[in-house]
Amino acid sequence: MEKFIELAKKRGSRRSFTDKPIEKELLISCVEAASLAPSACNSQPWKFTIVTDGAKRKELAELTQDAGFNQWAEKAQAFIVVSEDAHPAVMPKVAERYGEKRFAEGDVGMATAYLLLQAEELGLGACVIGTFVDAKVKRLLGISEADTVRAIIAMGYPADEPRPKKRKSVEEISRII
């Protein structure tokens, strides 16, 4: 096990994959890591659809190209589709005061980050894809119409190196008061 900061620095989006299929246990382990993320009122408003079937993968890869890019996704050996529960189980008082959905997108984002870091830890490559039409993905995968698909994570054994990290400096994004 490496130090967290090292893992975070090492993780980078991968957009090129070998033909080696990903073992199901590894995909499940990524979802388990995601399930450990914090969430408002422990509502855990996330759902994961693991797609390994060849025909479904092909159709899903096509849906990721909605904006005219992401052709590389055709080589992904698996996808994990992250969706958000239509009715996150937050405490009634919290729902009343802030709205039941107020925290869900952030919660799902945190779970996605955990998933990506576990993939890195396991030697898998992954890239989040955000450009797709929600309704088409739900129809293809039988995800409830009421839920929201937040991300499609393309995965495979990496055949490339991550791009060099370009980040705003810590000074630029933070202040101590």
Ligand X SMILES: Cc1cc2nc3c(=O)[nH]c(=O)nc-3n(C[C@H](O)[C@H](O)[C@H](O)COP(=O)(O)O)c2cc1C
Question: Residues in the site for ligand X, rule: CB under 6 A?
Answer: 12-13, 15, 70, 127-131, 151, 162-163, 165
Evaluate whether 138 touches 59 at the Cβ level (below 8 Å): no
Least distance (Å) between residue 120 CB and ligand X: 10
Q: In sequence order, what are the beta bridge partners of 84?
A: 46, 148
Nearer to ligand X, 96 or 161 (CB): 161
Residue 76, amino acid: A
Phi-psi bin for 29: left (phi > 0), alpha (psi -120 to 50), beta?
alpha
Minimum separation from the CB atom of position 162 to ligand X (A): 5
Residue 97 C-beta: closest distance to ligand X, Å: 28
Q: What is the number of the residue whose Cβ is closest to ligand X?
A: 130
26 or 162: whose CB is closer to ligand X?
A: 162
By beta-carbon proximity to ligand X, the closer residue of 22 and 127 is: 127
Sign of the C-alpha dihedral computed for residues 95, 97, 98 and 103 taken in this order: negative
For ligand X, give the closer residue by CB, 14 or 138: 14
Task: Please tell me the distance from the alpha carbon of residue 131 to that of residue 65, in angstroms, as a whole number.
Answer: 7
Distance between CA atoms of 102 and 87, rounded to whole angstroms?
11
Closest distance to ligand X from the beta carbon of 89 (Å): 24
